[in-house]
Amino acid sequence: MLKPLSHFRIVDLSCVLAGPFSTQLLADLGAEVQKLEPPGGDPTRGWGPPFEDGDAGESAYFRCANRGKRSQAIDLHTEEGKADLFDLLKEADVLVENFRADSADRLGLGWKRLHAKFPKLILASIRGFASDVTASRRAGYDFIIQAESGWMAITGEPEGRPMKVGVALVDVLAGLYCANGIQAALLHRERTGEAIHIEVPLMEAALAGLSNVAAGALMTGTAPQRWGNAHAQIVPYQSFRCTDGDVAIAVGSDRQFEVLAMWLGLDLETRPEWRKNRGRVKDREELIALIEARTQTNTVGEVLAFCEPNAIPASQVRSVDEVLFRHGGELHNLLQPLFEPETNVVVPTLASPLLLNGERACAPLPPPRWTS
């Protein structure tokens, strides 16, 4: 398998999700990752259930972000622990940490001190808030950032309470940005010989993830609202009830809507404004009611039987277990079992969605067990 980062060594002091997720991505690309955990282990080892064996064994949460790594315990509050870390950093290319900035400085892991001691070492720091804002000393978990950044305000039903996204997506985004920044820093160092400090604030990863919603707010100066499963700027682009479940329909072009209109029996000669998306957005409630009146008399399969051959993006609204266990090979090939020879256990994981020369990127090592 192609391993483009196989000549790089990463030391990972981060815990929970954003940092470990970023180093797992690097491990999938071939990097050697040494995970250093505090004496009690990464907190996510205890986040469950589910655990592998009832209340014992590995947690699913830890497994989701630590494939491809070797692990050891280290106590950075002791001189011995710091000495062990600095021995590892002599041969390392990158250090990843997610301490608060003041805590990193107290541990001797601030950029200035590390750079003076290890001038070729790249430092990647994941923070709750950026070091140049007044909130810089605040701790930040994904949920807190979803609340603080406006994500919750735009998630959920229009008349319901603000809701978080169903996964820790801020952490995942920050991990992706961190992995991308690390690879850019490695390229920069190879070209110039200069190591740099990367900082990824969760808050700013969340704001960047607001994407078109933030762009709209910047353009209009008004607060975006919650739309449930609908889309603020595109109609129809939401889920609809059928006789046996829900179907998602995403009409992204005016041509697609013309085809859908034929199925609905709509005469666009009498409603020419609906030929353009802006007209459909303006008359959202009327049009959605017409569409759902039709879908409610059909099964999900009947709706898909029309949409799919006519190139209208549509899908059954599926459960996680259904898509993981019943649609491998059809909708995805992401399941990757990893064999653990010490315990003779096969660990199910999700590989990276990256394909390199047609081969799925996935580190061969299962997540490390806690042995300290």
Set out the domains of the chain in order of their start, with CATH numbers: 9-210+335-360 (3.40.50.10540), 237-317 (3.30.1540.10)
> For residues 148 and 45, what is the distance between their CA atoms, to the nearest angstrom?
27
Beta strands 122-127 and 197-201 are parallel
Integer Cα distance of 322 and 340 in angstroms: 26
Q: Would strands 197-201 and 237-242 be described as parallel, antiparallel, or unpaired?
A: unpaired
Q: Does residue 85 contact residue 79 with C-beta atoms inside 8 Å?
A: no
Terminal-residue alpha carbon distance, the chain: 32
- Is the Cβ–Cβ distance between 280 and 256 less than 8 Å? no
Ramachandran category for residue 156: left, alpha or beta (phi over 0 → left; psi -120 to 50 → alpha): left
CA angle 140–142–143, rounded 5-degree value:
100
Taking the CB of residue 175, how many other CB atoms lie within 10 A of it? 26
- The residues, ordered by sequence, that sit 6+ positions from 125 with a Cβ below 8 Å of its Cβ are 97, 98, 99, 101, 104, 111, 197, 198, 199, 200
Omega into 236 within 30° of 0, i.e. cis? yes
Helices (H), 51-168: 60-63, 79-89, 101-106, 111-117, 142-149
The DSSP symbol for 268 reads T
Whether the CB-CB separation of 13 and 73 falls below 8 Å is answered with no
Count of C-beta atoms within a 10 Å radius of residue 221 = 7
Residues 15 and 38 sit within 8 Å (Cβ to Cβ) = yes
C-alpha dist (Å) from residue 355 to 127, 178, 181, 182, 329 = 30, 20, 20, 20, 15
Residue 171 is a catalytic residue: yes
Alpha carbon of residue 346 to chain centroid = 25
Q: Are strands 314-316 and 335-340 parallel, antiparallel or unpaired?
A: unpaired
Q: Give how far Cα 299 sits from Cα of 75, 239, 260, 262, 295, Å.
A: 59, 13, 16, 18, 7
From 53, 171, 244, 321, the catalytic residue:
171
**pLDDT score, position 343:** 86
Write down how long the chain is.
372
* 8 A C-beta contact, residue 247 and residue 239: yes
Query: Considering all CA atoms of the chain, what is the largest pairwise distance in Å, rounded to the nearest integer?
Result: 80
Task: Report the C-alpha gap between 66 and 35 in whole angstroms.
Answer: 9
Alpha helices (runs of H) in the chain, residue ranges in sequence order: 18-28, 60-63, 79-89, 101-106, 111-117, 142-149, 169-192, 202-209, 211-220, 254-264, 277-282, 284-295, 300-307, 320-326
Q: How much is the pTM?
A: 0.94
Distance, CA of 27 to CA of 354 (rounded, Å): 12
How high is the mean pLDDT in each 10-residue block of the chain (372 residues)? Answer: 93 98 98 97 94 84 96 96 97 96 92 97 97 91 97 96 97 98 98 98 97 95 95 96 97 96 92 96 96 96 96 96 92 93 90 94 93 73
Nearest CA-CA partner of 44 in 74, 77, 66, 28: 66
